[in-house]
Structure formats: C-alpha cells, structure tokens
Amino acid sequence: MTFGVIVFPGSNRDHDAAYAVSSVLDQKVEIIWHDSPTLGAVDVVILPGGFAYGDYLRCGAIAKFSPVMKAVKKFAADGGLVLGICNGFQILVEAGLLPGALIRNRGLQFICREVDLRPATTNSPFTCAASKDRVYRVPIAHGEGCYFADERTLDELESEDRVAFRYVDNPNGSLRDIAGVLNRERNVMGMMPHPEDATELLMGSTDGLVVFQSLISAAVRA
C-alpha cells in the first residue's frame, strides 16, 4: 500500500506522517511537493499537519490553490482515500472537500497537549479498526482548531453518521465536541488531533495507530 504525503511550504509534520507510515507500519511512502500536478500511483493521500504558506491570511486559504490540490480533488472524486491532519484538515475545508470551518480556539490561545478522543463512528475507512467503547489519547497542537458550522450542517453530520471523532474534554470550543469529520462519500476525513504523533510508546501513546490501521484494513478489504 502506498501513502502519498503532500508537502506544502512551511509544513512541519510531513516527516512525522511519513515516518509513522513507513517506519512504524512498514508501508510505502511517496513525498509529493505542493506544485506537483499529479499524485502518482498512491492508494491514500495525507495532507499533514504543521503550517502551510499563507496561513497568516487564513489557515489553508492560500494552500488550497496549490497545483497538487486539483489532483487531490480528482483523486477524492474518483473514490481515493484522503486524510487531512490539523493544517491538512484546514486545507480540506478551505478547498471545499469537507464542510464547516476551523476558527480560533476558545480563549484565543495556542494549545499543545494530549487529549482524549472517542470514535463517533466506526463506519469509515479511517475508523473501522477503532472501538466506540475505547478512549484514544492523541496530541493536539493548534491555534485555530475550533470546529464551526451552522446548525443545519451540524445536524446533517450527525444524522448521516459523518462525525468521525469527538473530544472527551473539549479543549478548543469545537461545536458539539467535534474533532474530525467525513465527507458524504466517506472517503475524505479531516481531524485536528495528530495521530501520527501517537504511534510509538516512546511518544507516550500508540493510540494514533488506529487511524492508519483502519486505512490499511479498509484497503485490504476493498
């Protein structure tokens, strides 16, 4: 299985994602620069966390215009699996691949710590290896991670089982404790917590592996 990791100018978590996939899970990784017009032969695309150029305007507002995003949109439209983490989530929202918006945290402070997550659905390629009865401990590191959407959109996400993860103890004011969402086709997911930084015991938790293990399991069954 081949994971493509997109690198935007300013990204600082792309190597974390690549390491988790290649060194921990022993899967092939292709690093894809943001101005590439194609993705190559990949099975999953990861838009990693960190920062992207133009975030000073609004997170993801400039990165969504990178040439690679046209390829990402086509890949997603064709049913390809796309995972956006933190800044990657912000880019997916700005690009229209996911609903809602990510705004300044409640309290207007950058937050960097571990949080507890509970899967809201296991009916997706990103959560199928998870258990709703378990709490997963994964780090966050963001200043604009508060998930916001109008009431109609929030109701649709819940009625269509498209909330992927919820915070157990909401750290940033996200509406309805939402930490991650899915698109209608369930092949695109964005989440603010960093699963790639919770893949080895040395990191303090291996709970983030469940997202990548879910993707591998889904690919095997496909």
In this structure, how many other beta carbons lie within 10 angstroms of the beta carbon of residue 183?
18
SS3 100: coil
Q: Tell me the per-residue pLDDT of 38-69, one tens digit each, with 9 for 90 and over.
A: 999 999 999 999 888 888 888 899 999 999 99
Write down the pLDDT at residue 62: 93
Which segments of the chain have a pLDDT < 70? 222
Which among 68, 108, 59, 125 is positioned nearest to 87, based on CA atoms?
59
* Cβ atoms of residues 172 and 111 within 8 Å: yes
Write down the pLDDT at residue 71: 98
Cα 30 from Cα 190, distance rounded (Å): 20
* Domain ranges across the chain: 2-221
Q: Would you please indicate which residues are annotated as catalytic (active-site) residues?
A: 86, 194, 196
CATH tag for 2-221 (out of 3.30.390.50, 3.30.70.20, 3.90.550.10, 3.40.50.880): 3.40.50.880
* Cβ atoms of residues 153 and 99 within 8 Å: yes
| Number of alpha carbons in the 13 Å side-chain half-sphere of residue 35 | 2
Backbone angles phi, psi at 9, to 5 degrees: -55, 125
